[in-house]
């Protein structure tokens, strides 16, 4: 069909408006608006409810401020649609228009159907000697998910956001599908969906554990990689976004976006926040040899970060083939519109930004005053939600831990590596560990940032589980089909004597103790702790540290596997979270400084040697010392104000972390007024005799000062 013709003249078409972008139902009809600065024409293709049969093709009649738009008074919610965009196909100039390819609306609120891999999805002839300089004329419509017009109305009722103070947050990272796929109490038909996450058994469990924020791996609609599907695998994690406003269709029970909203409502009713792991740094269209599915065919030159010397190729700071061009105002608008949509319409409470350094690159360099960071800081809707950066990417100078601006928290991988190495027994870590457990002030104490700028974690979706961290020295990723080449080789793990499963009771006891040691460190550290779902149950991935393609029991939570469940570890984790909740000294909103607390004669935190005296420079440099002892003053954390308006102090604690392979004797100080130390928790054994304590090897103990 020639550009600009109209197959169905009986479909009423009005000029419409250039804003808002996307397909907007107003109660009477639907406005369609699509940005493309370099297109020569745009056709809207309508499909039947199955998405298989095209029922109409309409040329958008208006072009205003680089927005193509039109209003169809007869289009209602549920309508399937896509775009065909006309323009030059000239890859060296950055243009990849191909009107034979049906394109997903970047602002689609819902997608229908799954992508079916076929060579027709590519703008060039696959296999041609000219590669992407060739031009493919096959229609891709049969293989592309269809965008859907939706009615976004939802009755939230009196459902305020929990607004959990950042210093009180305990984050729980979970996979939206894998968390419920093996749960015996959830109806099988709903498992793996938001409906399953809203089942009462899930918020009951989270509330009992003490979790007040769940962080979901990507929920934006994403693609399953072709090479994985050909191997019988899939993109399980979802870091392959193709539509930034639409939930992943596979996670919606009955394909309705209200499923997600109901899940959020249920979590909020329990005081649990919902944080989304979002991927705005790249899209699933890949490099110059990738498919044409959406942005590439709409306006490749505007949307993507292209090489300066040859626009045929993409700058790749992400390791995925492309990067979005957030210097362009319309691309920046798309990302911030998406964030506002999920905040205001879907009621989520925050975002964790994958490879966030890429979002703040200007002319290839990370800039703390980039347009993206500036616009988020001043936006009334976004500046008030939780913003968490994964502060690195794969590009030049991509590691930016500690360099994000005020208002942002960051994944602190130095914390992760230090805690792992300490409990493995590596020497020379006492100073770094002391900094980490007291909030990493050397990285974050600037420009008014607080300890909650540090997201402390020991495990995450990417890497070993907690159980595997103490069970394997090496990764075992053979199931991924890459001959064990994928995944990190730097795990700082220790198998405690045997690689993998064992029946040896001494090794099993040591592994359980090591898991408790690391959880104790994590949950009693200053900053915001993040727990990976299933770690509290001792979940294993059989040594696979990169199960991104494993949508099976290897990645699912083993709810019904009694051999895998560690109920003692679960109870211990629950105890630690309760301790953190009840004692503000473990979740201070101010950094420890090791100095006198104003108005008192005591220090906020004092680092002690096993002899009971304060640590010296020589002690800190002693590689043979594997014991960190922190005296945390109750004056350092004020729980509440008395009736007279004076702050009431918290309890004082002595925390001892001992990673040595022999027991350690330490002297506990006597504090005024007279009292005694009481053991609050211990991962091993701790005995006392006349003020001197003996702590078993590789153990942690927390003592609490009791006044008479």
Q: Which active-site residues does the annotation give?
A: 354, 390
3-class secondary structure per residue, 221-288: EECCCHHHHHCCCCCCCCCCEEEEEEECHHHCHHHCCHHHHHHHHHHHHCCCEEEEEECCCCCCCCCC
User: Of 214, 277, 216, 215, which is closest to residue 241 (Cα–Cα)?
Assistant: 277
Q: How far apart are CA 71 and CA 360, in angstroms?
A: 36
Q: Residue length, the chain?
A: 708
Q: How far apart are CA 698 and CA 516, in angstroms?
A: 10
Question: What is the sign, positive or negative, of the torsion defined by CA atoms of 605, 610, 616, 619?
Answer: negative
User: Of 170, 193, 165, which is closest to residue 536 (Cα–Cα)?
Assistant: 170
3-class DSSP state for residue 625? Answer: coil
Q: Using omega within 30 degrees of 0 as the cis cutoff, is the peptide bond preceding 673 cis?
A: yes
**Angle value at C-alpha 577, between 576 and 580, nearest 5 degrees:** 90
Q: How far apart are CA 494 and CA 418, in angstroms?
A: 14
| In the block, residue with structure tokens 């506002």 | 340
Q: Is the Cβ–Cβ distance between 459 and 465 less than 8 Å?
A: yes
Between the two ends of the chain, the Cα-to-Cα distance in Å is 90
Q: Is the Cβ–Cβ distance between 401 and 391 less than 8 Å?
A: yes
Q: Is the Cβ–Cβ distance between 587 and 532 less than 8 Å?
A: no
Q: Is the Cβ–Cβ distance between 672 and 618 less than 8 Å?
A: no
Tokens encoding 595: 């100095």
Tokens encoding 74: 């007869």
């Amino acid at each position: 069909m020639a550009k600009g013709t109209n197959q169905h003249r009986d479909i009423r078409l009005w000029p419409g408006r250039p804003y808002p972008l996307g397909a907007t139902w107003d109660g009477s009809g639907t406005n369609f608006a699509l940005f493309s600065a370099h297109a020569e024409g745009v056709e809207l293709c309508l499909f039947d409810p199955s998405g298989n049969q095209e029922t109409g093709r309409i040329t958008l009649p208006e072009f205003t401020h680089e927005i193509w738009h039109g209003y169809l008074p007869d289009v209602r919610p549920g309508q399937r649609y896509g775009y065909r965009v006309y323009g030059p196909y000239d890859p060296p100039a950055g243009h990849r228009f191909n009107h034979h390819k049906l394109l997903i609306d970047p602002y689609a609120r819902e997608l229908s159907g799954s992508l079916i891999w076929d060579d027709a999805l590519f703008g060039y002839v696959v296999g041609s000697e000219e590669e992407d300089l060739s031009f493919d004329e096959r229609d891709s419509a049969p293989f592309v998910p269809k965008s859907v017009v939706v009615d976004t109305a939802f009755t939230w009722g009196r459902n305020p956001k929990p607004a959990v103070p950042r210093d009180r947050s305990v984050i729980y990272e979970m996979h939206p599908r894998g968390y419920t796929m093996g749960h015996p109490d959830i109806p099988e038909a709903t498992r793996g969906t938001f409906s399953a996450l809203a089942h009462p058994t899930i918020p009951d469990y989270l509330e009992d554990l003490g979790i007040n924020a769940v962080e979901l791996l990507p929920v934006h609609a994403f693609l399953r990689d072709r090479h994985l599907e050909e191997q019988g695998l899939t993109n399980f994690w979802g870091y392959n976004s193709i539509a930034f406003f639409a939930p992943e269709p596979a996670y919606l029970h009955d394909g309705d976006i209200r499923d997600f909203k109901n899940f959020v409502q249920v979590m909020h009713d329990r005081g649990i926040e919902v944080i989304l792991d979002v991927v705005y740094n790249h899209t699933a269209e890949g490099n110059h040899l990738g498919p044409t599915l959406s942005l590439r065919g709409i306006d490749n030159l505007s949307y993507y970060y292209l090489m300066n010397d040859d626009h045929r190729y993409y700058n790749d700071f992400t390791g995925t083939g492309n990067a979005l061009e957030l210097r362009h105002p319309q691309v920046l608008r798309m990302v911030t519109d998406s964030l506002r949509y999920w905040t205001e319409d879907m009621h989520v409470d925050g975002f964790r930004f994958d490879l966030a350094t890429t979002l703040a690159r200007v002319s290839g360099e990370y800039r703390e005053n980039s347009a993206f960071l500036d616009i988020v800081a001043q936006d009334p809707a976004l500046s008030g939600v939780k913003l968490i950066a994964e502060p690195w990417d794969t590009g030049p100078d991509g590691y930016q831990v500690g360099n994000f601006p005020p208002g942002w928290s960051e994944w602190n991988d130095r914390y992760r590596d230090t805690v792992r190495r300490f409990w493995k027994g590596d020497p020379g870590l006492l100073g770094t560990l002391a900094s980490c457990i007291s909030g990493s002030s050397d990285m974050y104490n600037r420009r008014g940032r607080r300890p909650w700028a540090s997201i402390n974690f020991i495990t995450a979706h990417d890497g070993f589980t907690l159980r595997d961290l103490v069970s394997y020295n090496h990764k075992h990723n053979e199931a991924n089909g890459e001959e064990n080449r994928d995944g990190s080789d730097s795990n700082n793990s220790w198998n405690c004597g045997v690689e993998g499963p064992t029946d040896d009771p001494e090794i099993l006891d040591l592994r359980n103790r090591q898991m408790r040691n690391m959880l104790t460190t994590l949950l009693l550290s200053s900053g915001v702790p993040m727990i990976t779902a299933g770690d509290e149950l001792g979940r294993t991935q059989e040594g696979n540290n990169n199960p991104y393609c494993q949508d099976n029991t290897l990645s699912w939570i083993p709810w019904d596997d009694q051999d895998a469940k560690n109920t003692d570890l679960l109870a211990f984790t629950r105890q630690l979270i309760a301790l953190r909740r009840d004692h503000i000294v473990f979740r201070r909103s101010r950094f420890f400084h090791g100095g006198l607390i104003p108005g008192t004669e005591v220090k906020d935190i004092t680092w002690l040697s096993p002899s009971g005296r304060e640590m010296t420079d020589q002690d800190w440099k002693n590689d043979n010392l594997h014991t960190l002892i922190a005296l945390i003053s109750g004056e350092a954390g004020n729980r509440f104000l008395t009736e007279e308006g004076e702050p009431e102090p918290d309890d004082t604690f002595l925390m001892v972390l001992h990673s040595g392979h022999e027991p350690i004797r330490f002297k506990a100080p006597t504090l005024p007024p007279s009292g005694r130390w009481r053991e609050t928790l211990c991962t091993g054994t701790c005995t006392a005799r006349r003020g001197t304590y003996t702590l078993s090897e590789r153990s942690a103990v927390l003592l609490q000062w009791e006044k008479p």
